[in-house]
């Protein structure tokens, strides 16, 4: 086992923590407050930000959409450059935080910000940013990843850089009170799949990473099964912290990763607007069944240690069924309906998705690079 692990994000966890952001952002810094469609203005989060930054020089930019687009974010990049912004405060879910990461990097680059997403331009500078999380799911608040969509070409791609890792992340579970139930359930599914992408590969003798991943998966199972308690601070706190730990680099240190479910899922979102968690619930069971021989030992380990299944010859297959049943028990459908496909025939949808995968060079995915176009097609045929 060999790895570097450095997570510099300062975590401020718990009720009332938004008030403490002025201990980290200094009064000399000119701040851009970035937010989405306005949920923060309706639930009191915006008012808490304004109160905490009283006396600061602040500008704001709203309207970052779910699955944030380069087209919208570029307007904020122009503002940051014109106004010499020193600090970007992202207030929202993964989309706003990912958007802030793009803006922070693109504002330090003279070319087209999309070059950063495609990797054509390597980042060596970014405006510092902080996050106030209002939707636990992505882990974006304390990781270095960002997923951006170019609406013009329906490309949804990710980039990673330590320069865009948030300086701090506020996680106040009270901000979750206004989330609709389906968003909370989607958060459970997204965090779950993040853990799977870093755990469901092959046994590598990594006791710490495996043990912690299994604990986080068990938390999500309990939170899903105890969904009736979602209106309590304890339930909210546990989901918020579990989703954070699922993708902050810790369980992924020193182990093989997969991420093929996410890569294919992003194409479903880009072409059909399927929300992120559902895209994962649609792809993952089919992908695991396709790759079961490579993943058999870890699936069996997960079946035993997370679901408490008895030893059997087809434990891996039973574990996949249990995962899919868990999503369905939350009401997150694991099939793409013809309505989702906007009436398009299944074969045509598969062809369109295959064209996207090819365009993005995704022709050898997964921990073994075993998901070739041929396997992707089989996965999509079974998933759709």
Residues near ligand NZQ (CB under 6 A) are 36-40, 43, 66-67, 92-96, 98, 134-135, 137-140, 143, 145-147, 175-176, 178-179, 183, 190, 247, 262, 276
Task: Kindly state the number of chain residues that form the binding site for Zn ion, as judged by CB under 5 A.
Answer: 1
Task: Identify each DSSP E strand in the chain by its residue range.
Answer: 10-13, 31-35, 58-61, 87-92, 129-133, 145-150, 155-160, 168-171
Closest Cα to residue 288, out of 251, 253, 326?
326
Nearer to ligand NZQ, 195 or 315 (CB): 195
Q: How far is the CB of 38 from ligand NZQ (least distance, A)?
A: 5
Give the shortest CB-278-to-ligand NZQ separation in angstroms.
11
By beta carbon distance, the residue nearest Zn ion is: 190
User: Least CB distance from residue 138 to ligand NZQ, whole Å?
Assistant: 4
Q: Which does 175 bind (CB under 5 to 8 A by kind): Zn ion, ligand NZQ, none?
A: ligand NZQ
Q: How many residues does the chain have?
A: 384
Between helices 181-199 and 276-290, what is the axis angle to 10°? 40
Q: Which is nearer to ligand NZQ, 191 or 288 (CB)?
A: 191
Q: State the binding partner of 94 from ligand NZQ, Zn ion, none, CB within 5 to 8 A by kind.
A: ligand NZQ
DSSP state of 50: H
Q: How far apart are the first and last CA of the chain?
A: 38
CB atoms within 10 A of CB 384: 21
Strands 155-160 and 145-150: antiparallel
Kindly give the pairing relationship between strand 168-171 and strand 87-92: unpaired
- How crowded is residue 292: how many other Cβ atoms within 10 Å of its Cβ? 15
Minimum CB separation of residue 148 from ligand NZQ in Å reads 8
Pick the closer one to ligand NZQ by CB: 267 or 315.
Answer: 267
Report the partner that residue 93 touches, choosing among Zn ion, ligand NZQ, none (CB closer than 5 to 8 A by kind).
ligand NZQ
Going by C-alpha positions, the residue among 207, 210, 181, 208 that lies closest to residue 195 is 210
Within 10 Å of residue 66's Cβ, how many Cβ atoms? Answer: 18
Nearest CA to 254 out of 312, 295, 213 is that of 213
Per-residue binding string, Zn ion, 164-203, x by CB under 5 A, is --------------------------x-------------
Q: In whole angstroms, how close is the CB of 194 to Zn ion at the nearest point?
A: 6
- Cβ proximity to ligand NZQ: between 45 and 315 the closer is 45
Name which of Zn ion, ligand NZQ, none residue 206 binds, using a CB cut-off of 5 to 8 Å depending on partner kind.
none
53/184 with CB nearer ligand NZQ:
184
Q: Which CB sits closer to ligand NZQ, 66 or 303?
A: 66
Q: How far is CA 78 from CA 57, 104, 123, in A?
A: 18, 11, 18
Rounded distance, CA 164 to CA 167, Å?
9
* Residue 212 or 259 with smaller CB distance to ligand NZQ: 259
Nearer to ligand NZQ, 169 or 179 (CB): 179
Q: Which does 214 bind (CB under 5 to 8 A by kind): ligand NZQ, Zn ion, none?
A: none
Q: From the list ligand NZQ, Zn ion, none, which binds 201 (C-beta under 5 to 8 Å, kind-based)?
A: none
Torsion angles phi and psi, residue 9, rounded to 5: -70, 125
Which residues of the chain form contacts with Zn ion (CB under 5 A)? 190
């Amino acid at each position: 086992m060999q790895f570097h692990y450095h997570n510099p994000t300062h975590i401020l966890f718990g009720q009332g923590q938004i008030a403490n952001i002025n201990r980290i952002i200094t009064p000399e810094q000119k701040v851009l407050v970035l937010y989405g469609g306005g949920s923060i203005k309706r639930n009191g989060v915006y008012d808490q930000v304004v109160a905490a930054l009283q006396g600061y020089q602040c500008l704001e930019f709203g309207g970052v959409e779910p699955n944030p687009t380069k087209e919208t974010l570029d307007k904020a990049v122009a503002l940051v450059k014109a106004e010499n912004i020193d600090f970007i405060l992202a207030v929202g879910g993964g989309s706003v935080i990912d958007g802030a990461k793009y803006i922070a990097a693109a504002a330090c680059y003279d070319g087209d910000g999309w070059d950063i997403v495609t990797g054509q331009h390597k980042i060596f500078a970014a405006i510092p940013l902080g996050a106030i999380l209002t939707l636990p799911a992505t882990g974006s608040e304390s990781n270095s990843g960002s997923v951006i969509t170019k609406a013009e070409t329906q490309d949804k791609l990710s980039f990673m850089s330590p320069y865009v890792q948030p300086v701090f992340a506020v996680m106040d579970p009270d901000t979750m009170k206004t989330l609709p139930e389906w968003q909370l359930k989607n958060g459970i599914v997204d965090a779950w799949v993040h853990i799977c992408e870093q755990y469901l590969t092959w046994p590598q003798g990594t006791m710490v990473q495996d043990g912690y991943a299994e604990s986080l998966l068990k938390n999500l199972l309990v939170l899903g099964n105890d969904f009736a308690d979602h209106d309590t601070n304890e339930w909210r706190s546990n989901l918020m912290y579990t989703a954070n730990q699922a993708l902050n680099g810790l369980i992924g240190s020193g182990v093989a990763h997969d991420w093929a479910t996410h890569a294919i899922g992003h194409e479903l979102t880009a072409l059909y607007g399927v929300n992120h968690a559902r895209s994962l619930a649609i792809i993952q069971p089919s992908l695991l069944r396709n790759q079961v021989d490579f993943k058999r030992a870890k699936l069996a380990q997960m079946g035993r240690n997370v679901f408490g299944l008895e030893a059997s010859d087809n434990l891996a297959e039973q574990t996949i069924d249990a995962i899919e049943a868990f999503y369905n028990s939350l009401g997150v459908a694991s099939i793409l309906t013809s309505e989702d496909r906007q009436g398009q025939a299944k074969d045509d949808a598969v062809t369109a998705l295959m064209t996207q995968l090819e365009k993005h060079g995704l022709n050898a995915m997964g921990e073994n690079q075993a998901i070739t176009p041929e396997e992707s097609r089989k996965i999509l045929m079974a998933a759709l």
